């Protein structure tokens, strides 16, 4: 049987986390969402890196020191789970994410005051709850994310393996009494080598996946900027055609469908006539930001011309497309544009069509444009759908 020293694996995990911190420092971006994700990863790796201290601990202090380090490891795992969500487009309020992380750390440190048997069980239960929640959350993201990138699926596999491991450890902790090892990982003998290797490799594996995923996103964004509209930062019409055709080509290999949203600002000419084109430009930039903030990363947002915008979005159903369109319409209506002449309230009309294998992008856009004019003729500030 392979013999693996768990304490050494803890130290290797700490060193791997230091490497992860280094990898995160190589990523440069001005995107607020990615910056927040990077900061969470940095805190996660910083928490786990503390485990490298075990290399320098006197032998007699190892059990007590390991209890303290396990608390930092638990916080690191929580932060990784939080970063997973951010990286996949799901926002967690900073207070909630930080609160859960601190609660896990405090619980693990408080459990260190309990008798050995109770401590081992508490550690197993806490890590099992965290890992299962992470696996369920990551699975939910994958199921509801039509992209299914390899990196995201890899994160899903890591989360599932981590959860299964801790469920086995929980069962062992409640059914098999001590003696308990100084590393406090009280699991079956056949599982201990796997546990040790997994602990050692986890930070480095997460860092590599996060590094590749974030760099891939940044590359996509740089390409999008080259095809973007100077005023709003959304895609230009040329960018929409180039990236839109690529999206439609990839869609044939997926179970999703592409919703095409054509949006037009209501009475925008009156804004320009009353306040001038500079204020009108502010309104266009504001509306672009409101819409962009409420779209997933896999959506394409383009300024189609003047005050008209287009969104191409992979969806699983017409109901999902309707929900997105209504959410965008309400967001624009509920967020007036703050300008030097005061707040200006804007509404938008939206026409929606769906791509089919027998139609081209131009035909999809024309159909959505027809529904947009129907929305305007029916009173504006509404969503009109073409037949699926």
Burial of 98 (0-12, 13-18, 19+ CB in 10 A): middle
- Lookup: tokens for 7: 């304490």
Number of other CB atoms surrounding residue 371 within 10 Å:
22
Among candidate residues 152, 189, 242, 307, the one labeled active-site is 307
- Lookup: tokens for 333: 């209506």
Which residues have CB under 8 Å from 195's CB, separation 6+? 6, 9, 165, 169, 185, 187
Check: CB of residue 55 under 8 Å from CB of residue 31.
no
Distance CA 266, CA 377 (A): 11
- CA dist 136 to 85, 129, 158, 161, 167, Å? 12, 11, 12, 12, 14
Is residue 245 among the annotated active site residues? Answer: no
- CA dist 233 to 159, 335, 339, Å? 36, 19, 19
Active-site residue list:
307
């Amino acid at each position: 049987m392979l013999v693996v020293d768990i304490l050494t694996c803890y130290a290797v995990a700490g060193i791997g986390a230091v490497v992860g911190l280094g990898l995160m420092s190589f990523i440069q971006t001005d995107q607020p969402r990615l910056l927040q994700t990077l900061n969470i990863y940095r805190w996660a790796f910083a928490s786990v890196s503390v485990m490298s201290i075990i290399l320098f601990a006197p032998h007699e202090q190892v059990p007590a020191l390991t209890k303290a380090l396990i608390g930092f490891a638990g916080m690191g795992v929580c932060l990784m789970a939080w970063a997973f969500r951010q990286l996949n487009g799901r926002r967690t309020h900073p207070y909630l994410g930080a609160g859960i992380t601190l609660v896990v750390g405090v619980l693990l440190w408080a459990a260190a005051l309990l008798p050995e048997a109770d401590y081992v069980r508490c550690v197993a239960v806490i890590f099992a709850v965290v890992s299962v929640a992470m696996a369920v959350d990551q699975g939910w993201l994958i199921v509801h994310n039509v992209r299914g990138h390899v990196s995201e699926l890899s994160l899903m596999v890591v989360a599932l393996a981590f959860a299964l491991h801790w469920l086995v450890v929980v069962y062992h902790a409640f059914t098999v009494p001590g003696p308990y090892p100084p590393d406090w990982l009280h699991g079956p003998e056949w599982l201990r080598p796997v546990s040790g290797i997994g602990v050692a490799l986890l930070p480095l594996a997460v860092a590599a996946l996060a590094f590749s995923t974030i760099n891939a996103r940044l590359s996509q964004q740089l390409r999008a900027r080259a095809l973007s509209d100077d005023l709003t930062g959304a895609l230009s019409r040329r960018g929409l055609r180039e990236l839109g055709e690529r999206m439609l080509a990839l869609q044939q290999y997926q179970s999703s469908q592409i919703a095409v949203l054509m949006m037009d600002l209501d009475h925008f000419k009156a804004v320009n006539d009353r306040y001038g084109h500079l204020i009108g430009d502010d309104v266009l930039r504001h509306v672009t930001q409101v819409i962009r903030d409420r779209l997933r990363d896999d959506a394409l947002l383009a300024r189609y011309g003047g005050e008209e915008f287009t969104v191409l979005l992979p969806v699983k159903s017409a109901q999902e497309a309707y929900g997105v369109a209504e959410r965008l319409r309400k967001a624009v209506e509920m967020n007036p544009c703050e300008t030097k002449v005061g707040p200006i309230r804007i509404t938008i009309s939206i026409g929606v069509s769906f791509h089919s294998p027998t139609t081209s992008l131009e035909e999809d856009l024309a159909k959505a444009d027809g529904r947009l004019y129907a929305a305007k003729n029916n009173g504006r500030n509404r969503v009109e759908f073409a037949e699926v």
